[in-house]
Every structure is written in structure tokens, then in C-alpha cells.
Amino acid sequence: MPGRSDQTVPLAVKIVVSGGLGVGKTTFIAAVSEIEPLDTEAPITQVSVGVDSLDGVESKTTTTVALDFGRIRLGPAIALYLFGTPGQARFSFLWDDLVEGALGTVVLADTRRIEDCYPALDYFEAQDAPFVLAVNRFDGAERFEPDEVREALGLRAEIPVLECDARERGSVRDVLGVLMDRVIGFRAAPGRRAAVARG
């Protein structure tokens, strides 16, 4: 491409990491970011009582109140900019701004509280960008086959359902790799805009 050096200027790709409260979004981004991840953790306050369910994550004392942000290079040509959504439902008004320009999304799920990912699924199914569903393995959580998770959530066959450990860099990279395959396939599909922001 004229005027562009592949050695020095990677394509900048915006990716969103979403899912229910305490599902591991901040952990997922921190595990893989090559820059000091920005997080906006704050103590969970009384305002949350009766609004945000902490069932299953009772030990959680802080929560993301605005966003998480991290960056990872995928080879020399692509840099992923990762934006994590806040988990509490009362901050969902931030999502519209956060997803602006995003090319794909990882929706994280916890099988102990699988229904908590419905708001994110509903939201990202309506977006014009692909997403993958990644089940974050928590200690003591029952294991389910990806197809069982797919069926329980009513996901279409073409949506990838994966398992991951949000604390492990390699595992997070694997999820992002599958998402990028989807993003590339989606952008290349006939009738789609090949609109990838240039870094």
C-alpha cells in the first residue's frame, strides 16, 4: 500500500471485551497487554446493593467503573487495542461509546452464572461486527462442552465458543486469534466494508 511501512506502522484494530459482572474482563486484558493496562477499578459501594448481583463472586470488593484498556501486537502487522466494558448494569450506557469503531468482541462467560452474559450477547448480536463466546474457567465451576454452552445460550452455529483461562496470556492470545480469524473473514465477505482503522 503506498506510503505505508509495514515494519513500523501496524494496523490498529479495536477489540471489545465484555460480559457479566466479575467474569474476568479486567483479568483477561491485564494478562495479555504489553503496555501497563489502564483499569478503572473502584470499591463496590452500597449503591450496587440490590442492583448488581454478586452471587458467585461474593469475595469481589472492586469493580470496573469506566473501562479497561490494553494493547497487544499480533505479529508485526497488527496491534489490537483492547477495551473492556464495565460489568455493572448501571454503567451500560457507556457501551455505545466504548464499542464505536470496534471490529470484534470477546464475550466472556462464567458457567456458574451463565445467564449473566445475556445482556452482552443481546447487545453484540445486534452490532455489525463478529464476536466469540469465551467461557472463563473458574476453579470449582462445572465443565461443559462448547456445544452444550452454545445450546444453552441459543448461539448460532457459526459463533465460536471457546474455553479460556483469563489469567493466562497464552490462553487469552488463543481467544484473540480465533476472534481475528472471524474479523478477517467478516471484513472480506462480499458486501462488507473493508474498514480497518490505520495505526
Ligand X SMILES: Nc1nc2c(ncn2[C@@H]2O[C@H](COP(=O)(O)OP(=O)(O)OP(=O)(O)O)[C@@H](O)[C@H]2O)c(=O)[nH]1
> Which residue ranges make up the site for ligand X (CB under 6 A)?
21-27, 60, 63-64, 86-87, 136-139, 165-167
CA 154, CA 148: separation in Å to the nearest integer?
10
Chain-centre distance of CA 71, in angstroms?
13
d(CA 132, CA 179): 6
Q: 3-class DSSP state for residue 14?
A: strand
- The answer to whether 86 and 94 have CB atoms below 8 angstroms apart is yes
Q: What are the start-end ranges of the H helices in the chain?
A: 25-32, 95-98, 118-125, 146-153, 169-188
Pick one of Mg ion, ligand X, none as the site partner of residue 128 (Cβ within 5 to 8 A by kind).
none
Answer whether 23's CB lies under 8 Å from 108's CB.
Answer: yes
64 or 105: CB nearest ligand X: 64
Binding mask 18-37 for Mg ion (x = CB under 5 A): -------xx-----------
Task: Retrieve residue 28's grid coordinates.
Answer: 483477561
Least distance (Å) between residue 98 CB and ligand X: 13
Q: How far is the CB of 66 from Mg ion (least distance, A)?
A: 10
Map residues 49-88 to x or -, x wherever contact with Mg ion holds by CB under 5 A: ---------------x------------------------
Q: How many residues bind Mg ion (CB under 5 A)?
A: 3
Binding partner selected for residue 139 from ligand X, Mg ion, none, CB under the kind-specific 5 to 8 Å limit: ligand X
Across the strands, what pairs with 63? Answer: 42
Take residue 21 and report the three cell numbers written for it. 459482572
Chosen from Mg ion, ligand X, none, partner binding at 169 (C-beta under 5 to 8 Å by type):
none
- For residue 18, the partner it binds in ligand X, Mg ion, none, with Cβ less than 5 to 8 A by kind, is none
Which residues make up the interface to Mg ion (CB under 5 A)? Answer: 25-26, 64
